[in-house]
Structure 1
Amino acid sequence: MTDIGSSRPAAQAFELVLDKGESRVAEFEVRARSPLQKLQHFLHANPTAVPAIVLLLSVAAFGFTVGSRFLSMFNLSLIIQQVTIIGVIGAAQTLIVITAGIDLSVGAIMVLCSVIMGKLAVTMGLPAPIAFVVGVAAGAGCGVVNGALVTRLKLPPFIVTLGTWSIFFALNLWYSASETIRSQEVAKIAPLLQALGTSVNIFGARFTYGSFFMLGLVALIWFVLNRTAFGRHLYAVGDDPDAARLAGIQTDRILFSVYVIAGVICALGAWALIGRIGSISPQAGQTANLDSITAVVVGGASLFGGRGSIVGTLIGALIVGVFRNGLALSDVDVLWQEFAVGWLIIIAVALDQWIRKVSA
């Protein structure tokens, strides 16, 4: 319908309403962040900042209270030697935690692989290189079991690895007959297995090849996590597996690969363990499972997945080593050393919860 004497159509009712409507464009007010919110965002963007600060403050505090005994080059290098096993096993745990999982069997895999290497090389007389390769293959096989149960049967990683921890530990006791292979026998028949225990002096500090091996492993995993597609996929799966799947990432393959790689790293940890203690004992590494989780959590990784750093894990292991060494030099009972480490874990998890609110 048109008005008489005009070619323009008459305005419809909805057009009259729109003419009276609001014409301003939506505006979003940018609120200034408080200093606490700025700190929260900074820590969220830099997950290794907190553990690095804690490490520096811990060294300063024990250096002030204990004195030169703690700050001597020999003692500081001793701390690095002491955390070698935690650092290597923590590297395996870091990969699992980034995918929002957890592996309670890493310590049992490590000890089982060390027993396999020792029995084959020392008791059965196989060449040490072959025994080493078989031990690494056994670690990969343990990872295959964990990965298959998680990806094929869709079982929770916590339950799966809790069960395989008992299984691997039982196999360890059965295969070793609960007998320890003495360090003298290993040194005589298979010195290769003790190679990472060889020490060198550098500017008054004493390091072992195992310490350099740990640092090399950390550097390699850092490169994989930060410079490869596999590393980016790892974080994506841990942050949001459904979104990662829609983006074309084969999440089950990534998860399966992570558990296999973790098993191989645990086998390499077995090599470092033999070098560290000299002998091969089925009772060694009893606290490795919890120590690895402690290093990862204190190092700033999130147990909810998608956030973590291998450098943070190394710093977390050093923090635990500094606390235990400093408290021991302060004549603090072992009971209270564990008490302090327990509080470290609780504080680290609480801090992670607070930092995660930024992305909520």
Structure 2
Amino acid sequence: MKRYLDHLPPLSSLGPCIALLVACLFFSTQSDRFLSGQNFSLILQQVMVVGVIAIGQTLIILTAGIDLSCGMAMALGSVVMTKFATDHGVHPYLAVMCGLLACTLVGYLNGALVTKVRLPAFIVTLGTMNIVFAITQVYSGAQTVTNLPDALLFFGNTFQVGQTNITYGTVLMLGLYLLTWFYLRDTAPGRHIYAVGNNREAARLTGIATDRVLMNVYMLAGLLYGIAALLSVARMGVGDPQAGQTDNLDSITAVVLGGTSLFGGRGMIGGTLIGVMIVGVFRNGLTLMGVPSVFQVMVTGILVILAVATDQFTHKKG
């Protein structure tokens, strides 16, 4: 029996899959609408923005860091690309590039402060979260940007598979997860991320340019926040300076639920996708059951505590 158990995947990898399966089985008994293809498509639409942000958050947490500024960076990117396209008459594709650049610059600032000034990632991103929030509010005048060109709304459009409508944004999100999985699994830079997260000093002694790895991770995360900004614009149809205020906590929740260790160096991007789906399934299922949103937040908090407790137990055992 012990030999059989030794061949099972670790709890941090197996647990999220079991939790998602149990949640789906439970909610399917509570609502006839839950297991429909249209409902699962809706869940994917609801989580696609946080899902892309969570990819960047995963990369940073794998290096034993954390990013509290991701939601505000996403909001800044959405305001930049929409205002450039509407108020400044910039071509929509160029406006999108400007939004992506703005988010990447936020990532660059975070990475520079972490690697050059040697400040803790928590403190750095807490500070930049407030700075970027203020910049977004001032630049937008705290006003929602409307009357957007169709090019900015493309990823909110749908195509039909059978009787189910699927958004192009959902396809983009899943494609980014697949690309990140390949990057982390089959490329040297991806393996260096794990090495830095496991032991930064040991990685440096083996010849890995740890500061460069961290800079690249924070800038890549910033780029992903920019893509999430584009998906947010496409889904809501506006550039909202108030968007993203809880996305930092939602993305961390998804990463932790997916089995990525807050201690760094351990986790899989596929687990993050499962974590995103767990959050989406719980909120959707509880909504179908008529449970008030405040209790949905409470359930999410309980799940986070359980996931972190499991992570700490696994870390100590290792």
TM-score (norm 2): 0.97
Which amino acid in 2 is paired with 1:162?
L
Identical residues among aligned pairs (%):
49
Once the 2 structures are TM-superposed, how far is the Cα of residue 43 of structure 1 from its aligned partner? 4.3
Does 2:84 align with 1:125? Answer: no
- Counterpart position of 2:116: 152
Q: Secondary structure at the match of 2:34?
A: helix
Aligned partners of 2:237, 2:80: CA distance in 1, in Å?
Answer: 15
Once the 2 structures are TM-superposed, how far is the Cα of residue 50 of structure 1 from its aligned partner? 1.3
Encode CA deviations 1:218-260: one digit per residue, 9 max, x unaligned: 0110000000001110000001111111111111110011001
Aligned partners of 1:33, 1:74: CA distance in 2, in Å?
Answer: 43
1:152-191 matches, cutoff 5 A: 152-182=116-146, 185-186=147-148, 190-191=149-150
Of 1, 17, 34, the match for 1:52 = 17
1:229-244 matches, cutoff 5 A: 229-244=188-203
Aligned partners of 1:291, 1:342: CA distance in 2, in Å?
Answer: 10
Which amino acid in 2 is paired with 1:64?
T
Of 142, 146, 151, the match for 2:106 = 142
Once the 2 structures are TM-superposed, how far is the Cα of residue 358 of structure 1 from its aligned partner? 3.5
1:4-83 matches, cutoff 5 A: 33=2, 38=5, 42-44=8-10, 47-66=12-31, 68-83=32-47
- Counterpart position of 1:298: 257
Aligned partners of 2:287, 2:302: CA distance in 1, in Å?
Answer: 17
Which amino acid in 2 is paired with 1:111?
A
Encode CA deviations 1:329-353: one digit per residue, 9 max, x unaligned: 1111111110100000000011111
Which amino acid in 2 is paired with 1:62?
F
Gaps of 5+ in 1: 1-31
Does 2:215 align with 1:245? Answer: no
Once the 2 structures are TM-superposed, how far is the Cα of residue 112 of structure 1 from its aligned partner? 0.1
Which amino acid in 2 is paired with 1:269?
A
Does 2:281 align with 1:317? Answer: no
Of 152, 163, 173, the match for 1:214 = 173
Encode CA deviations 1:139-161: one digit per residue, 9 max, x unaligned: 11111100000000000000000
Does 2:52 align with 1:93? Answer: no
Aligned partners of 2:265, 2:61: CA distance in 1, in Å?
Answer: 8
Q: Secondary structure at the match of 1:142?
A: helix
Encode CA deviations 1:99-155: one digit per residue, 9 max, x unaligned: 000000010000101100011101111111111111111111111100000000000
TM-score (norm 1): 0.86
Of 162, 184, 192, the match for 1:203 = 162
Q: Secondary structure at the match of 2:159?
A: strand
Encode CA deviations 1:164-201: one digit per residue, 9 max, x unaligned: 0000000000000011122xx11xxx211111101112
- Counterpart position of 1:110: 74
Aligned partners of 2:181, 2:200: CA distance in 1, in Å?
Answer: 22
Once the 2 structures are TM-superposed, how far is the Cα of residue 48 of structure 1 from its aligned partner? 2.9
Larger Rg: 1
User: What stretches of structure 1 move > 6 A for 4+ residues in a row?
Assistant: none
Once the 2 structures are TM-superposed, how far is the Cα of residue 302 of structure 1 from its aligned partner? 0.4
